[in-house]
Amino acid sequence: MKKPDGIENFSAWLEIDLGAIRNNVKRLGEIAGKPVMAVVKANGYGHGIVETARAAEAGGAAWCGVARVEEAQILRAAGLQIPILVMGYTPPEQVLPAVEEKISLTVYDPAVAKQYLQTAAASRKRVAVHVKFDSGMGRLGLFPEEGAAFVRWLRQQPEFEVEGIFSHFARADEPLAETTAWQIERMNRLLDQLEKEGLRPALVHVSNSAGTLYHPAGRFDMVRAGIAIYGLHPSDEAPLPDGFKPALSLKARLVSIKELPAQHGVGYNYRYVTSAPERVGVVSIGYADGYRRKKGGQMLVCGQRVTVLGTVCMDQCMVTLQDVPNARVGDEVVLIGAQGSDCITMEEVAQDWGTVNYEVATSMAHRLPRVYFGLQD
């Protein structure tokens, strides 16, 4: 594959395959047989919110989901006209700007709804909303058993346009857990009641990535996927099927090589000391870039795995090059992604850090340049 343009100018950077995101969205839609809301919150899970949204739309996404109204406004400012849902809280002061930009908001309890109602009534504006229910997450939303009365009240307010209702699975990435079936059952009971009263909105969406793949009964009218559109596994127990590809690679440069004598400390607090003469390289990336401050991580140099020595610094880290005699200053170093015949996956990095791939992806710092390619392929 031809290297993306511009990387020679960077000491550390991310490469984002937008073609992979486009194809992942398309594949997910084929599996679900339903429209896809592409979740691009948190700067597109670290991949870049605008570019990710464009790639998702190219893959057939019907909606984009974000956590905060500011994220939706970034998409609108970039010229995207795709429907957008703010899935979290929106301050009342932001309601009218959202309405002006055709951004849909979430209401999850009467207090929030009344705040939005007062704002809308004073300006004679109509607010498009999706109603959030807590079917088992223990987070935002009324319980489904309280839902019909709330939806009925919302429908009676001319200031609200109820576009949809939604919930969120707590354990869909544990396919054997019974919680998901229970959540689906609770939502179905609510929908039955809304149907009887003629209150069911056109869009019901509950499934996240794992729910879409492993719980077909929870797909309803639309699926709402985040981690899968980036080609990342929802969990070890809920891996992606064939046809998905990771979009992100994290790379840096080898900027110095030196021979250290035996008993020489490496890095702050000498958490690594050479036991014999050792060839050590300095890599131009550190914890300020989102790479965890720990020792013992793996990187790829010349297609071979090397180990991080000592503690990762703010802007740099050191690796052993004892078994890579052909390494040279200026060489590309891969921290996440493939080089030669080897690959360090984001899931592997997450396991090493003691966390999940979601956190690894979203921890990628804004100062890392994002180099995009693949959307025209």
Active site residues: 41, 268
The two tokens of residue 57 are: 């739309």
The torsion angles phi and psi of 88, rounded to 5 degrees, stand at -110, -155
| CA separation, residue 96 to residues 77, 99, 119, 219, 319 (Å) | 16, 5, 7, 32, 52
How far apart CA 187 and CA 116 sit, in angstroms, is 25
Q: What span, in angstroms and rounded, lies between the C-alpha atoms of 274 and 277?
A: 7
Q: What share of the chain is helix, strand, coil (3-state, %, to 5)?
A: 35, 25, 40
> Within 10 A of 372 (CB to CB), how many other CB atoms are there?
21
Q: How far apart are CA 239 and CA 232, in angstroms?
A: 8
Residues 268, 273, 276, 280: is their CA dihedral positive or negative? negative
Q: How many residues does the chain have?
A: 377
367 is annotated as contributing to ligand binding: no
- The Cα-based distances of 59 to 25, 29, 56, 67, 86 in angstroms read 5, 9, 5, 21, 21
CB 353 within 8 A of CB 224: no
Annotated ligand binding at 299? The verdict is no
Q: Which residues are annotated as a binding site?
A: 139, 314
Q: Which residues are annotated as a binding site for substrate?
A: 139, 314
